[in-house]
């Protein structure tokens, strides 16, 4: 069993400092960024080295949603922003659902061919035309659109051997502030949030969603704490009312919105006490070391048993993947959506 901390590494090869942190008993996983990629071959070697450090292997994750949030681009298929899928089919959900399924499969198949265990996707937020940080990362503007297309994406990824992590619970789409830079506050009543924003989460949980990441947002008419530090949202609503039994990830504890919860060890402790199974500390090695040391003796068998289920299943390597007609068809599908939307901001 491993610990509850997911952290990042410096570059395209592991440094001695990276290795020391990854071998720390509190480490449970690694999240990769664009700086960790030079080529598919290099990426495969890096991930293999990470996996070989511990037994069972550490989890390896990335943000590979498509559009502007796609960490690996060169030598990978450029995935369209999720919000562009439905307009490509003139609002017809049936063909859009089939396309989302194949794009989810494509994303997961390419990552699994390089050894990545999972992507932090799909985004389940609604596009209310308010949040720039969400924007075209959403699958649609209604609960039905998001639930339908995101579930198809999830099922496609599952076929390729990858679990899914829905974000940002209970919904980030109605606040303008970017939680990377400031503290967003949502003033809507609980009933409205549950009726609109939470419905895609409820829908995907019923279909077996394996992971969820809460929003760094305060829903002030529901709880005074950020959702990721809130027993109300994580235990009463997510575990209790929605019966979610998968892994809850904190959003990055280095984000500005998390600062209101105190120093880094205090943030990590608050997130875990609220109900998170794994906390993310990114782009701040000093903070990561502080959190690791503060959680050195932490042990929750149930939480860690949930995390074990996130490892990717066996999948074809890149050469075998490229030989399949399904891969070629999915690559063409992604290209068709790009070509029909010339104003894509990538």
Active site residue ranges = 180, 251
Distance between CA atoms of residues 264 and 143, nearest Å: 35
Distance between CA atoms of residues 9 and 162, nearest Å: 22
Answer for the pair 312, 59: CB distance below 8 angstroms, yes or no.
no
The Cα-based distances of 253 to 132, 281, 287 in angstroms read 21, 5, 9
Residue-level length of the chain = 346
In the block, tokens 């550490």 appear at 58
Three-state secondary structure call for residue 42:
helix
CB < 8 Å & 24+ apart, contacts of 15-18: 17/285
Query: Please, which residues have CB within 8 angstroms of residue 312's CB and are 6 or more apart in sequence?
Result: 112, 115, 116, 117, 118, 161, 162, 163
């Amino acid at each position: 069993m491993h610990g509850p901390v997911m952290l990042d590494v410096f570059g395209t090869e592991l440094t001695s400092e990276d290795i020391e942190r990854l071998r720390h008993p509190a480490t449970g996983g690694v999240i990769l960024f664009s700086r960790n990629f030079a080529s598919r071959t290099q990426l495969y070697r890096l991930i293999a080295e990470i996996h070989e450090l511990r037994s069972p292997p550490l989890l390896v994750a990335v943000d590979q949603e498509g559009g502007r949030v796609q960490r690996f681009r060169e030598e990978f298929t450029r995935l369209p922003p999720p919000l562009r899928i439905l307009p490509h089919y003139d609002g017809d959900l049936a063909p859009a659902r089939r396309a989302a399924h194949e794009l989810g499969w494509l994303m997961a198949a390419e990552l699994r061919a390089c050894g990545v265990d999972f992507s932090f996707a799909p985004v389940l937020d609604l596009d209310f035309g308010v949040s720039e940080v969400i924007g075209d990362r959403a699958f649609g503007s209604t609960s039905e659109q998001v639930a339908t297309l995101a579930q198809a994406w999830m099922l496609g990824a599952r076929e390729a051997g990858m679990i899914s992590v829905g974000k940002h619970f209970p919904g980030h789409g109605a606040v303008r502030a970017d939680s990377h830079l400031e503290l967003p506050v949502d003033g809507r009543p609980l009933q409205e949030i549950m009726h609109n924003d939470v419905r895609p989460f409820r829908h995907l949980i019923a279909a077996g969603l394996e992971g969820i990441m809460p929003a760094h947002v305060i829903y002030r008419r529901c709880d005074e704490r950020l959702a990721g530090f809130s027993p109300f949202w994580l235990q009463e609503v997510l575990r209790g009312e929605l019966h979610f039994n998968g892994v809850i990830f904190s959003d990055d504890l280095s984000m500005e919105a998390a600062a209101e919860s105190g120093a880094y060890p205090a943030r990590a402790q608050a997130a875990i006490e609220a109900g998170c199974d794994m906390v993310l500390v990114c782009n701040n090695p000093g903070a990561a070391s502080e959190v690791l040391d503060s959680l050195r003796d932490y042990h929750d068998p149930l939480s860690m048993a949930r995390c074990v289920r996130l490892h990717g299943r066996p999948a074809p390597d890149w050469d075998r993947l490229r030989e399949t007609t399904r891969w070629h068809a999915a690559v063409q599908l992604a290209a068709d959506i790009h070509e029909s939307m010339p104003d894509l901001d990538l």
